[in-house]
Amino acid sequence: MAVRFDHFVLTVASIEATCAFYRAALDARVVEFKGGRKALDFGGWKINLHRIGHEFEPKAATPTGGSGDFCVISDEPLDELIARLGELGIVIEEGPVPRTGANGPIVSVYFRDPDGNLVEVANPA
């Protein structure tokens, strides 16, 4: 039985732009590993990055930039996140709105990364 989430992969147009975005928006730590690959480390889980047309094997059957849609739980109050995103010029598409997370009620905000992936950041309600 699966016990926890470890990582997922985003296929992106620019590794550098993606790293800069997630570093600024979500305080990700950029790490480099085997073969010069890069990942966004969030302490306990990570997002591996593949550049469009230069994916690593094995990979999704049809890797496509901008097809991601995921939610992360944050301990940062959403009003602080919203203020920082505003300073960075990142548009909030929706929220704060109530939702249902894996462990119960959450309050979420939604925005997009440079490739158009939908990023949901939530606090437990």
CATH at residue 75? 3.10.180.10
At 101 the pLDDT is 96
Residue 6, SS3 per DSSP:
coil
Is the residue at 114 inside a domain?
yes
Predicted TM-score (pTM) of the model is 0.94
List the Cα angle 112/114/119 in 5-degree steps. Answer: 25
Our count of domains for the chain comes to 1
Is residue 66 in some structural domain?
yes
State the catalytic residues: 120
Per-residue pLDDT, 19: 98
Tell me what pLDDT residue 39 has.
97
Q: What is the pLDDT of residue 112?
A: 98
Provide the pairing of β-strand 118-124 with 69-73. Answer: parallel
What pLDDT is stored for residue 4 in this prediction? 86
User: Which residues in the chain show pLDDT less than 50?
Assistant: none
